[in-house]
Amino acid sequence: MNITIRKATIEDKEFITTAIIEAEKSGSDIISYCKIFSISEAEFREILSNILDEDFEGQELCISGYLIAEVDGERAATMGGWLEKESGMTSSMIKSNLLMHFMDRNKLLDAAPNLKLMNEIDFHRDENSLQIEISYTVDKFRGLGLYGKLVNERVRLKLESGKTFEKIQGIVLKNNNSPVNALTKLGFVKAKEKTCTNNDILNLLPTNTKILYEKYINN
Amino acid sequence: MEDQEILEQVNKLFTKILKKPNVVLTYETTAADVDGWDSLTHMMLIDSVEKHFAIKLKLMEVMKLNNVGDLVAIVKLKTTK
């Protein structure tokens, strides 16, 4: 079995789209973007496609930020990542700008109460920390340690490019056992946990709790 | 419109959206300097600025906004065209 890891290209757009949607669902039927903005999956896919075409780095909806793991030449897993605030703007601001540009403005503004609720379980991402977000492994390739290989390669490539950073951060939904177990196995520790006490959040997310995992790379 | 006049109008918009009467913006102010200026209020602020000045900001224009001074400059550019 030959496992290789490479940077994603535009040819991987469909695979990355699937990854983002599956990561959003986190084992449920809920795509949070659809619930938050009251849009259909088809509408979300179109918006996502437009955003991915922009390839704006520094947030998770950017093809260049992804690595692809292939097993015997077949796409098997992917993971997004970036250095927080590398361009001077936070990932959440970049994403806001992208959503503003590609979404119906009224739907966006109407979603303010939902976004406010989501903010309750948002974490501050540390400037210049390596963020890993959106991970996806095709079912038949689970158990091969691809998650860990993607994290390690992400770190190696960033360091090789001359970037210096001390910490890796990953935010996961508490119910998403797969990345939680993988991060723990890789030496990440739970830094913070946030729970939204307003049950309305369960209309938007599969769970009301998010966890911030961290790892210092010189540990 | 002069820079200072734009800044004052932008300040009023921010005050209204952030619901903080004591917000005082300068050209150097960034989102990190203002309590409550998060990704959600950012969208509301940009929308409000566009509507108030009857302008439309392009994606690359908003991506290059590093501080309030940059916002004032782009508003000035667009309103004097």
Q: How close A75 comes to chain B (CA, Å)?
A: 32
- The pair of structure tokens assigned to B10 is 């932008």
pTM: 0.92
pLDDT band of residue A219 (cuts 50, 70, 90) is very low
Are A88 and B66 in contact (CB < 8 Å)?
yes
Q: Following CA atoms A169, A174, A179, A185 in sequence, which dihedral angle do they give, to the nearest 10 degrees?
A: 80
Containing domain of residue B66, as a range? Answer: 3-79
Q: How close A92 comes to chain B (CA, Å)?
A: 6
Which of B31, B43, B59 lies at the smallest CB-CB distance from A108?
B43
B59: nearest CA partner in chain A: A101
**Residue of A100, A103, A107, A121 for testing the chain B interface, max B β-carbons within 10 Å:** A100
| Beta carbons of A24 and A31 less than 8 angstroms apart | yes
Q: How close A152 comes to chain B (CA, Å)?
A: 30
The angle formed by the CA atoms of residues A66, A175 and A182, to the nearest 5 degrees, is: 50
Interval A117-159: pLDDT, tens? 999 999 999 999 999 999 999 999 999 999 999 999 999 999 9
Residue carrying structure tokens 């939204």: A196
Q: Measured over all CA atoms, what is the biggest interatomic distance in chain B, rounded to whole angstroms?
A: 33
Containing domain of residue A165, as a range? Answer: 3-216
CATH of the domain at A118: 3.40.630.30
- % of chain A residues with pLDDT over 70: 100
In what helix (H) or strand (E) does residue A137 lie, and over which residues does it extend?
A: strand A130-137
Q: Which of residues 36-55 of B touch A (CB under 8 A)?
A: 38-40, 42-44, 46-47
Q: How many domains does chain B have?
A: 1
User: How far from each other are the two terminal CA atoms of chain A, in whole angstroms?
Assistant: 31
Residue carrying structure tokens 């496609």: A49
Between chain A and chain B, the number of residue pairs with CB atoms below 8 A apart is 44
Half-sphere exposure of A64 (CA within 13 A, CB side): 11
Q: How many domains does chain A have?
A: 1
A56: nearest CA partner in chain B: B63
Instruction: Tell me which residue of A212, A124, A135, A132 sits closest to A168, measured CA to CA.
Output: A132
Are B43 and A100 in contact (CB < 8 Å)?
yes
Are B40 and A112 in contact (CB < 8 Å)?
yes
Contacts of A214-217 spanning 24+ positions with Cβ under 8 A: A214/A129, A214/A167, A214/A168, A214/A169, A214/A170, A214/A188, A214/A189, A215/A167, A215/A168, A215/A183, A215/A186, A215/A187, A215/A188, A215/A189, A216/A166, A216/A167, A216/A168, A217/A130, A217/A155, A217/A165, A217/A166, A217/A167, A217/A168
pLDDT band of residue A218 (cuts 50, 70, 90) is confident
pLDDT band of residue B1 (cuts 50, 70, 90) is confident
